[in-house]
Structure formats: C-alpha cells, structure tokens
C-alpha cells in the first residue's frame, strides 16, 4: 500500500511540473530565412520560426538597413515592410515593401506566445 501511495504522489508531482513548465514556456527563435549572419541575394521575404505559437497582435518586427556599400557613415534606416503571420502559427513573415538593395540589414523582432511574456531579439544578414 505504501508503494502505491508513493507512485501516485510521484505521478501527480510529475504532472504538475509538466503543466507548470508548459504554462511558462517562452517563444525562442528556432530558425530564420535568411539565416543569421548570412550573405544572400535580396530576399522577397524574411521568415522567423519560433518554438511556440505566436500571438500575432502582440508580436512584430522592424527591418532596419544598418549599412550600405560605399557609405561608411550610413545611419541605421528603418525599411518599410509588412509583418504577418503565416499558415504556421509559429512563423512570422516580414515582406519588404520594395526589393532590398545591397547592404547590411537587421531584423529586430518581438515574439509573444500564449504566456503573454514578450521576448525580443534580432538577426542580421547582408544582401550582396
């Protein structure tokens, strides 16, 4: 009987731990296209894939041009882009309004999942 009670308590404790860890799961960036620090041809869209489903109305991104060939003092410049979800609720899609010109870029992102805790980060890439 003692072993049976211990097994039940252990199972309840494990279940409670799993439920609480799932409730506090924060989204993490799993991958991006283009990849962080990649040198690529001008992408038509940038995709960020996260570990959790995103809450679209609280998540977002800014596309910033951080450098331009031949212009050493180029100040960071925000680039017009649409930020939308995709068919995959874990993916954020950033679509530039105009084709990207050669230079260096950064995507500053904010991801919010069901736990409502915002996580911020960025990726950088170069358009050749």
Domains of the chain: 27-127 (2.60.40.1220)
Per-residue pLDDT tens over the stretch 96-122: 999 999 999 999 999 999 888 899 999
Per-residue pLDDT tens over the stretch 75-101: 999 999 999 999 999 999 999 999 999
How confident is the model at residue 46, as a pLDDT? 98
Per-residue b/e over 67-102, b at no fewer than 16 CB within 10 Å? beeeeeeeeeeebebebebeeeebbbbbebeeebee
> By the 8 A CB rule, do 61 and 49 touch?
no
Residue 24 pLDDT class (50, 70, 90 cuts): low
State the average pLDDT over residues 34-43: 98
Q: pTM for the full model?
A: 0.80
Residue 26 pLDDT class (50, 70, 90 cuts): confident
- Using the predicted structure, report yes or no on whether residue 12 has a pLDDT greater than 50: no
């Amino acid at each position: 009987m003692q072993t049976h009670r211990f097994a039940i308590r252990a199972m309840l404790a494990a279940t409670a731990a799993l439920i609480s860890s799932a409730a506090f799961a924060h989204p993490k960036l799993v991958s991006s296209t283009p990849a962080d620090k990649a040198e690529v041809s001008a992408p038509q869209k940038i995709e960020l894939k996260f570990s959790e489903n995103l809450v679209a109305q609280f998540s977002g991104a800014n596309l910033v041009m951080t450098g331009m060939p031949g212009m050493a003092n180029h100040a960071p410049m925000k680039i017009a882009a649409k930020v939308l979800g995709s068919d995959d609720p874990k993916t954020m899609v950033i679509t530039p309004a105009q084709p990207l010109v050669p230079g260096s870029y950064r995507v500053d992102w904010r991801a919010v999942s069901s736990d409502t805790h915002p996580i911020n980060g960025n990726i950088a890439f170069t358009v050749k």
